[in-house]
Every structure is written in C-alpha cells, then in structure tokens.
Amino acid sequence: MHKLTCPSISQFEQLVELKDYQPPTKKEYVRCLRKLAEHYHCDPATLTQDQLRAYFLFLRQDKHCSGSALSIIKAALQLFFRQQLGHADWTVFGKLVIRRGQPLPLVLSRPEVQRVLGVLREPRFRTCLRLIYHTGLRVGEAVRLKVTDLDGASLRLHVRQGKGGKDRCVPISAAMLQELRAFWKTHRHPVWLFPAPGCAWRERATPLAQRLQQADRPMSVSAVQNAFRLARAESGIHPQATVHTLRHCYATHLLEEGVSLRLISQYLGHQSLDVTVIYTHLTATHEGQARAALERLLP
C-alpha cells in the first residue's frame, strides 16, 4: 500500500516529529507502522486488538524477531494505537513480554586490533577506524566529526549529539591529534574531518583530494563498515567482529590499563554505570589478578 493512500501513517509521521526523538528513531518508528500496514494490506488505524496480537505472534514465531527489534516495534505501535488513536484500554502491549539477555560482547586482543587496522590502506578509512579504537566513538559519531571538534590545547575531542542527543568530551593522545591533523592536511575541508569523496562517475575524474575538499557531506557509515569488513577478511580476525567491536576493545583495554570504570563510562557516553560494568567480565588482566588472589587465599 502506497503511503500517500494512508492518512493515518501521514498523521503518525507528524506525531513522531513532535517527539524529542533522534532522527533514526523517528524513521524507524514510521517504518514499523508501514510494515504493519503492508502485512494486513490496509490502513493500520482500522485494525483490531486481536489483529495486532496476531501480528506480534507472527513477528515472534514466524519472523523470529530479536528482543531488541520487538522492543522498537512495540514502542512504535504503542505510540500509534494508544496516543494517536486513543486506545488506552488495549492490553495487548502489556501482554507482550520481551526478555532481553545481555550477551558478552566480542573483544579482540591488542595484537588482533593492530593486525586488522594494519591492513587498511585507504588513509580516510585507516584514520577513522584508528580513531574509533583510540576514543571508543560510535561509527556515526566518528564520521560526523567537524574540524572544530578537535581541541588541541586540552587534547580533547568534542562529541556532539551522540546517542540520546548528548554531548561529551573524550581524551586523545598527542600522537592521535597529530595523525588527525596530518590527515586533514590531505584535503583541508573547512568543516568535516572525514568528508565524503562522492561516488558519481563524473566525480571520479576529479582528484580525490579535490573531491574531499569540495564535499557537501561527511563520509558515510556504510563506507567505513564495508572497509572494516574487507580488512577483517584480509587480517583473519574473528569473522563476527564489526566496527562496533573496536568500541568494546577500547573499553576493555582501558580497563586493563587501570582506568576507572566511571571514567570509561563517561567516555563511552553511557547513561548508567551498570551498562559499562559488563566490561569487567572481559578483562584478562582483572581475571588474572582475581586468580592470583584466590591462590593466596588457599590455606
């Protein structure tokens, strides 16, 4: 069903725009409602509670949606049916129980990190991924960095509008600062630290440095992710490693170096220290210290 033939979805788009959600969240909420409309081939405003219950069962039993995916769908449809349509008495949302486990994230050893970063040849990808490991930034935060976000005097990086719309500052080393400055000098873009080179065939005839300097947008997240996938295959590290794995490595390796959990939590932009505690289960150093202490405790 085309979106223009469904006024309730258009109204939902307006409702979502009124909320203080991040742009990706707004887009995902509207997408969830469209998927429901496509499933039943009708205006979602005409659906009954029983039909919505059947849809949730379909997502869980047939589509095998993960807990995180179901949580987003539930929140989006709850906003639509309860707030937009006024079905405050619907109980289907309370009956959909989502238990989300917290599996331990994958963490690479320091030699593995060096190996995967070492095979990167394209300067923009190598510098960006090295920065992600050096600062624990999310890939979206890294590619959106502006030249003015670098504070050379205090050796800090200003992360603007991170997850949850919050700003934070993270420390960087003098060596990393020099590396970023050296990379910037290859393109000298007035705004973006990692400008997009463009991919149209006409643009490819222009030298890369000129394309970067004239870019009207930052480098894409997908380009960085694809570069990491190729480096992962070439380096032979764990096949499930992703760009986000570098963020986990940053936190775990800092903890092994004795940096406090509270500081690491601030650098990562976590809302709660409870989220960061998971890294204590991943540090070989702390585990070795605990094992040595247990040996001393034996009579």
Enumerate the active-site residues: 138, 163, 244, 247, 270, 279
Q: How far is CA 22 from the centre of its chain?
A: 13
Amino acid at 210: Q
Could you write out the DSSP letters of every residue in 37-73?
HHHHTS-GGG--HHHHHHHHHIIIIIS---HHHHHHH
Alpha-helix runs per DSSP H in the chain: 7-18, 23-40, 49-57, 67-78, 92-95, 110-118, 123-135, 139-143, 174-184, 208-213, 221-235, 243-256, 261-268, 273-276, 284-297
Rounded Cα gap, residues 219 and 198, in angstroms: 9
8 A C-beta contact, residue 125 and residue 227: yes
Query: What is the rounded distance in angstroms from the CA atom of residue 229 to the CA atom of residue 242?
Result: 7
Contact between residue 193 and residue 145 where contact means Cβ atoms under 8 Å apart: yes
User: Which amino acid belongs to residue 202?
Assistant: R
Best CA proximity match to 59, nearest among 75, 95, 79, 67: 67
How would you label 114-132 residue by residue, b for 16+ Cβ within 10 Å and e otherwise?
ebbbeebeeebbbbbbbbb
For residue 269, how many other CB atoms are within 10 A of its CB?
19
